[in-house]
Structure formats: structure tokens, C-alpha cells
Amino acid sequence: MKEVATSALTIEGKSIEIQGVFPRIAKLRSEHHEYVNAPESVVSELTTLRARADIFTFLQPLVHEGSPYPYLSRPEEIAVLTVDSYENWWTKQVNDKTRNMVRKAGKKGVTIELVEFSDELAKGIHAIYNESPLIQGKPSKHYGKDLATLTRAHATFLDQSLFIGAFYKGTLVGFLKMILHPNKRSASIMQIISLVAHRDKAPTNALLAKAVEVCAGRGIHYLQYGIWSRRTLGDFKKHHGFKLVAIPRYYIPLNFRGRAALALRFHRRLSEFVPGSCQDAFANVRSKWYLFKHRAQMQS
């Protein structure tokens, strides 16, 4: 069973987090935005440092030209948009409803533009995250954080990042952070969020459309948007042309506990053994509970 991160360290300039009790699993903190170049080297470092981890897990890059790694693996389902040109996306990969939502943003007065990361942008992001304690029916990890903490959290990968802002009457009402991968053929969305109060202006749809335009202009052929989802966010991804793509997630045991855990299949998430209908029912109950729990904050 996996829990919140219990410890962290840095190896080869990459932040590694260790989660769980049995097994304790080490992985890249930003594993959907950066990848391991030499897993054997990371394993060696983890062993040398005597990290309290039983298994090291990593994802194969979306664009991978080498042979598969010779380790135990299972498929990781991610959401990927194949980018040919913006025109192709606009005319063939999305439907009329999505196109109308993007147009709606412009008609409502929302402007979309590439922006530099700055103190002003950080203040706008701070205001967006502190509008509501919930995101997609779950607690927001950034709600209530002070400006300095939130600024540091969004200042990661700046040499590989592009920020896109959605503005209404000069005020930031939404933003998207995109990470450009070293292969120059793929990118990933790290953050995309808009103010609930301006949802009627469809800023999130317009932000995603701009991301596709930027990718097309830079020759980026694949845009990743997190893991594949069965619920509301999954529908949003599908409506914007994203499709399910499975990439290998590898597991390397670091000790006897790790080998035993892999043999017993304890490395797998509990959700993998639960039917989708049960997951949906639980998610609905959970969302209602969070809405009830945070009702005072939502109404303030």
C-alpha cells in the first residue's frame, strides 16, 4: 500500500522520493516530466547511500528509441495528444463543442499569451490556488500555502518550462505550465488550472488550445497530460484529442524485501484490483464528503 512521501533525496540532480511501508518504493518526484537516463546508476547510488527503499521504479520515456529494459514491468496508462499541426488538431482531433468552448473564451474577452515566470505571475497563481480548497473534487495540495512556498514550487524546471496565461481585464484567471523534454519531440503539462469564478469564460479550453499551437510551432509531436483518467478530467482530455497510451513502468528490487514484495505483487496499487465501477462509486462518495467538509471555505 502506498502512502504519502516519507523521505526524499537527490541523485544525479534529480529529486527522488520514497513512499510506503512495505514495500518502500523510490521514484523520481517528477517522473512524468523527467526521466532516468541510466537506471543502474540510480540503483547503485541508492545502495551506496543506504536509502531506506526496497524497490526503485521508473517510467520509460514516451519517446524511447532504445530497446526495452530487462526489468519487471507493467503498463502505465498516460494521456497523450499527437500533434501534427494546429489546423489538423482544430479540424480533425476535436469536436464542435470543444471548438465552441475555445471560441467562447475569446468572445468573453479572455486573452491567452505566453508569459515569463515572475513575481507578478506567481502572485496571480497564488490567487488562483487560494480560491478553492478543492480541485476536481479532491483537496488542493497548494491551497493555503504562502506566496514564497508557492513560488518555489512553480519555479522548478525553469530552463525547460513554458508558461501560458489566461487573462481577463488584465487579471490572471488561469495558467498552464508545460515542460519541454530534452528529446525536443515531446512535452508534458505540469499544471493547468483556472479560477472557478471565470469557468463560464472557458479559459482552460483556451489554454490547452494555445499549448497545442505552441507545440505545433516548435515541432513537438507529443503532448502528455498526466495519467489516463476514467472520470471527469478524462472526458476533458478525450474531448481535446488526447488518447490513452501505455508506456512501461519498471521495477528494480534493491534488497530481499524488494524481491519478496515483487514476488507477492505488493508493488501494485490497490486500485488495480478494484473494479472500475467500485472506484467510481468510492470517488463520488469521497467528493461529496470533501464538499461537506470544506463547505464553509467554499462559501466564504
Question: Which residue positions in the chain have pLDDT lower than 70?
Answer: 1-7, 134-137, 230-232, 271-300
Domain residue ranges in the chain: 5-76+248-268, 84-220, 271-300
pLDDT of residue 115: 98
Which residues have a Cβ under 8 Å from the Cβ of 180 and sit 6 or more positions away? 160, 161, 162, 187, 218, 220
CATH code assigned to 84-220: 3.40.630.30
pLDDT of 133-151, one tens digit each?
Answer: 766 667 778 888 999 999 9
Percentages helix, strand, coil for the chain (3-state, rounded to 5) are 40, 30, 30
Instruction: For residue 199, count other CB atoms closer than 10 A to its CB.
Output: 12
pLDDT of residue 204: 97
Peptide bond just before 248 cis, omega within 30 deg: no
Pairing of strands 222-227, 25-28: unpaired
CA 117 to chain centre: 19
For residue 79, the surrounding DSSP H or E stretch is strand 72-82
SS3 169: coil
Smallest Cα–Cα separation from 30: which of 157, 163, 126? Answer: 157
Q: Which residues of 97-127 are buried (b: 16+ CB within 10 A; e: fewer)?
A: ebeebbebbeeeebebeebebeeebbebbbe
pLDDT of residue 65: 81
121: alpha, beta or left? (left if phi > 0; alpha if psi -120 to 50): alpha
Between CA 95 and CA 205 the distance in angstroms is: 13
